[in-house]
Structure 1
Amino acid sequence: MRPFLLPLLLVAGLGACDGEKSFRITTSTSDDGAGKGVLRVIDALQCPDAVGVLTRKGLAANGGASCVYGGPKGAEVILHLVKLDGRAPDAVLKDFEAQMAANLPQADARLKPPHPPSPPSPPSDASAGGDQAVVQGPGVDIRTKGDDASVRLPGLRIETQGDNANVRIGGINIQAKDGQGVRTETSSVSVDNNGPSTRVRARAPGAATRMTYFIADDQPSAAGWRRVGFEARGPEGGPLVVATIRSKDRNEDSVFESAKALVSVNVGD
């Protein structure tokens, strides 16, 4: 069981050391009015000439509903004003996820499991044979059989079966399946990683929409993109302001931070 636990617990921290394949995630769980401002309802986008590393290209289009920015190394950010028109925000954002994932088709394919993950089976009973151990006490239930193990402690649950593992630590759920990479989830963040590809979704709770999404890959797409995604915010009922981002540098955080600042200019934090 040891070979699984160390990498899984490292992923649970939602961080990695600096390097070519590193990524770091910071989230807030504040509701509107509790550390976050009330997001504004707007009728047209504000498109300043420059924000951070981004420079506007041309004028706002579609009656103030979109504008295009360029960034370092050919990065591109498009700001959208999206009316919900009766649709749920999640449905609108799913469409944006599909659009952005299409820019990195090889990464999207790697991160799609061949079938929905299923929890490991509980340990077999003694009649099935094999080396077994059972440790039980107040709040403690540990059972092992061969390469399989079940560990249940207060706030911690670990199930392993062969090359598959399922770890629950408080509100964090980590699943690893042989050949399918690692998936980490909390109530507001999910991370999928499969070798060279990483996908992150971060959604703040509350009635308003505050969501970050990106997918990255070590190998560039045919168009040269290595990291794509969006930042979306909007009040309950909409409209949403969505900045879609395409970068040719996997670790170019300044483009994503500038896109967030551009969204903030329009609807607030």
Structure 2
Amino acid sequence: MTARLVLTAAVCALAALTAACDGDRSVRITSTSTSTDGEGKGVLKVVETLQCPQTIGSLTRKGTATDGGRTCTYTGPRGAEVILSLVSLEGRTVPQTLRVFEDRLKVSLPQAVAGLGAGASASATTEVRASSSSGGDQATVRAPGVAVDAQDDKASVRLPGMHIEADGDNASVRIGGFHIDANDSTGSVDIEGSAGGDDVSVQARDNSTEVRAVASGEATRASWILTDNRPSPEGWRLVGYEARGPVGGPLVVATVRSRDGNRGRVFEDVKELVTLNVGE
């Protein structure tokens, strides 16, 4: 296991609790703890019609609201497209409702969908190659709260709140509530975990990354992002949504399609637009 992959995975997971890991394939995750009754964040409003200002940050509204005030369309930098929708659950669960938006958006990044699917299959069939149990480079470190055992490309690291097992190209990292599986030869990283009761998952395969975050509590606070370093035929590099709504709905959902692979200003403005309508 390369030291670079182990350290990068570990540092990125720690950074996910607060800010980010920078780079061409960076993923930023922020998490704010919320209780089941919504304490710590404002109570989300029941919305009947959308508020659609002419401009908000880098976004500019196209035309007027449609569908009886339930849909607004915005444009952003480099031709980014944002559609704000007011969606009733109509007997469906929140995941079922949001899945419809995901499926529509995935059509814009077929190469990312294919890459993540193929990468997941490749990772599942990768064999772990153990190094020789005798000879070779070895290291043992013992200190209060610290245990490190390494031999050739195998390593076991235990620190307070962190556990890393590495074998050849494969690494399994546990940091707090996060579990990271990384494979250097396939270029894949999977992260599952929670912080403050909020659930976060990340899948990365070479050029593609998918991030999903769902806040704790009965109200809906969810975001989903799919990115790819390679532009689609239409030039898209990022799609995603920000969704919020009170228990039982309706949901305010803002979908994004962008030719910029970084979340950047557009997603911040999308969050502000959703907050304006339903609260934080």
Bin the TM-score by the shorter chain: 0.7 to 0.9
Distance, in Å, in 2 between the alignment partners of 1:79 and 1:143 is 53
Is this contact kept in 2: 1:119–1:166, CA < 8 A?
no
How far apart are residue 152 of structure 1 and its match? Answer: 4.5
Distance, in Å, in 1 between the alignment partners of 2:77 and 2:116 is 28
How far apart are residue 102 of structure 1 and its match? Answer: 2.1
Q: Among residues 63, 74, 84, which one is paired with 2:68 in the alignment?
A: 63
Count of aligned positions: 265
Q: Among residues 181, 190, 195, which one is paired with 1:183 in the alignment?
A: 190
Aligned ranges for residues 129-208 of structure 1 at < 5 Å? 130-131=134-135, 147-177=153-183, 178-187=185-194, 188-208=199-219
Distance, in Å, in 2 between the alignment partners of 1:259 and 1:221 is 22
Percent of aligned positions that are identical: 50
Amino acid at match of 2:222: M
1:11 paired residue number:
12
2:29 paired residue number:
25
Is this contact kept in 1: 2:38–2:217, CA < 8 A?
no
Amino acid at match of 2:43: V
Is this contact kept in 1: 2:122–2:186, CA < 8 A?
no
| 1:241 equivalenced with 2:242 (yes/no) | no
Aligned ranges for residues 90-109 of structure 1 at < 5 Å? 90-109=95-114
Amino acid at match of 2:9: L
SS at match of 2:243: strand
Instruction: Show CA shifts across 1:57-112 (max 9, x none).
Output: 12222222211111121111001111111221122222322222221111222222
1:6 to 1:56, Cα distance in 2 relative to 1, 3 A: same
Aligned ranges for residues 72-87 of structure 1 at < 5 Å? 72-87=77-92
How far apart are residue 34 of structure 1 and its match? Answer: 2.3
SS at match of 1:114: helix
TM-score by length of 2: 0.82
SS at match of 1:265: helix
1:88 to 1:11, Cα distance in 2 relative to 1, 3 A: same
- Structure 1: stretches of 5+ with no match in the other structure: none
Amino acid at match of 2:180: I
Distance, in Å, in 2 between the alignment partners of 1:158 and 1:21 is 22
How far apart are residue 252 of structure 1 and its match? Answer: 5.3
SS at match of 2:30: coil
Is this contact kept in 1: 2:187–2:206, CA < 8 A?
no
Distance, in Å, in 2 between the alignment partners of 1:141 and 1:265 is 50
1:56 to 1:129, Cα distance in 2 relative to 1, 3 A: closer
- Structure 2: stretches of 5+ with no match in the other structure: none
Distance, in Å, in 2 between the alignment partners of 1:150 and 1:62 is 58
SS at match of 1:25: coil
2:121 paired residue number:
114
| 1:256 equivalenced with 2:267 (yes/no) | yes
2:48 paired residue number:
43
Name whichever of 219-228 and 46-55 sits farther off: 46-55
2:58 paired residue number:
53
Amino acid at match of 2:176: G
Distance, in Å, in 2 between the alignment partners of 1:35 and 1:238 is 20
How far apart are residue 144 of structure 1 and its match? Answer: 5.5
SS at match of 2:121: coil
How far apart are residue 49 of structure 1 and its match? Answer: 1.7
How far apart are residue 267 of structure 1 and its match? Answer: 0.6
